Amino acid sequence: MRDYKLDSEILRFLHKSERFYPVNAVELSIKDQRKCYSELCDAYQAPIPDSIFSTDHAIPGRNGPIPIRIYENHAHRSPVTVMYLHGGGFILGGLDSHHSICAEIAERTEFKVVAVDYRLAPEYIYPVQFEDALDAFLSIDNGHTVVVGDSAGGTLAAAVCVAQRGSDRQPVGQVLIYPSLGGQYLDLDSYKSNHDAPALSTEDVYEYLNLWAGNSPPENDPIFAPLMLSDFSDLPPCIAIAAQHDPLRDDVVAWSDRLNQAGIRASHHIEDGLIHGYLRARHCSNKAARSFSRICSGIKELGNRFFDQN
C-alpha cells in the first residue's frame, strides 16, 4: 500500500475503525460483515441533538412495506424534505447505522429528514434497492424533496434522479457523498491510483457491486451506473462530494462535469486528506467536521434555492 499521507486524526479514526470492521471484512460471511458494521456504527454514534425527535413508520412499496425514520423539530417551518439513503455497499446498514448523521442533518438544515431502510443484497438483488428508493421518494415527495445519500446510498439517490428525469415528480436537488456512479466503466484514474486506499479498495468496490447485481452486473444501465446515462439534461442541480483517498473519487468529478455540460447547475468538492466513510469521523476529525458542515450547507442551499426560483 502506498503512503496516503493521512493526518493524525484520520489515522486514529482508521485504526479504531479497523478494530470493528477489519480490512478483510469482505471475506467474512454476510452475517459477520453486518455484525462488524453494526459495531462500527455504534462506536461512532453521536448523541442526538436535543431539538430533534424521530419516529419510525412504514410506507408501501412494490416489494412490500419500506421502513422509514422521520427526523424533525416542532420549530421547523420549511416544507423541504430531505430523503436520506444510507451507505453500506448495498449489503450493510439501515435506520440505526446512520441515526445520528440524519438527526444532525435535520438540526443543521432545519429540514425534515426521512431515512429510508431499503432492502439489502444479497437477499434482495438489483434492482430491488433502487425500487425501494424510488417508491419511497414517490411516497414522501411533497414537491420539494432533496435526495441525499452516501456511498451506495449516493448511487441510489442519483438513480432516483435518473429515473425521474424530465418528469413532474423530480427531486429539487441531489447531494451525493462519495457515491459509486459507474466510473469503473469509464476507466477513471482514481480506480487505479487509489486501488489500495484505506477504508475502501477498488477490489472492495467490485465485490460490493457484484453482490448487489447477483454476480451479473448489467451493461450500459444508468440506474445501476448513473454515469452510463446518455442525456444529462433535465436532471436536478447537484452538489457532489468525495474523499481524496478513495477509488470512487473521480465519479463525482465526471458526474458534475456531465451535468454542467448539459446546462445543469452542479459542483463537486474533493475533500483533501479524507477517506471513504469519513462521515463517521465528523466528531473526531477537523477535516471531516468541515466536510459535514459543507454537506449540510449544500443540502440547505439546494432546498432553499427551489423557493428562491419559484
pLDDT single digits (tens) 261-310: 999 999 999 999 999 999 999 999 999 999 999 999 999 999 998 666 65
| Cα distance between residue 90 and residue 105, in whole Å | 22
Report the residue count for the chain. Answer: 310
Q: 246 in a domain, yes or no?
A: yes
Task: Give the count of beta carbons closer than 10 Å to the beta carbon of residue 39.
Answer: 12
Query: Could you tell me if 59 and 75 are in contact, meaning their C-beta atoms sit under 8 angstroms apart?
Result: no
Model pLDDT, residue 26: 87
Q: What is the pLDDT of residue 84?
A: 99
Q: Does the residue 247 lie in any domain?
A: yes
- Domain containing 296: what range? 8-309
What are the grid coordinates assigned to 4, written together?
496516503
* Set 135, 141, 150, 246: catalytic member: 246
CA–chain centroid gap for 302, Å, is 16
- Catalytic status, residue 276: yes
At 239, list the grid cell: 452538489
Residue 208 forms part of a structural domain: yes
What pLDDT is recorded for position 19?
A: 96
**CATH value at residue 259:** 3.40.50.1820
Q: Is 272 a domain residue?
A: yes
Residues with Cβ within 8 Å of 114's Cβ and at least 6 positions away in sequence, in order, are 68, 69, 70, 71, 81, 82, 83, 84, 136, 140
In a domain, 188, yes or no: yes
Task: Give the pLDDT confidence of 13-59 residue by residue, as tens digits.
Answer: 999 999 999 998 989 999 999 999 999 999 999 999 999 999 999 99
Active site residue 100: no
CA–CA distance, 202 with 193 (Å, rounded to integer): 10
> Domain count of the chain?
1
Does 170 fall in a domain? yes
Band of the pLDDT at 137, cuts 50, 70, 90?
very high
pLDDT for residue 201: 96
What average pLDDT does the structure give for the chain? 96
Active site residue 246: yes
Q: What percent of the chain has pLDDT over 90?
A: 93
The Cα–Cα gap between 130 and 168 comes to 19
Given 17, 100, 151, 291, which residue is catalytic? 151
Question: 3 in a domain, yes or no?
Answer: no
Contacts of 70 (CB under 8 A, 6+ apart): 54, 55, 56, 57, 112, 113, 114, 115
In a domain, 222, yes or no: yes
Mean pLDDT of the 101-105 span = 98
**Catalytic pick among 221, 276, 285, 291:** 276
Q: How confident is the model at residue 76 (pLDDT cuts 50, 70, 90)?
A: confident
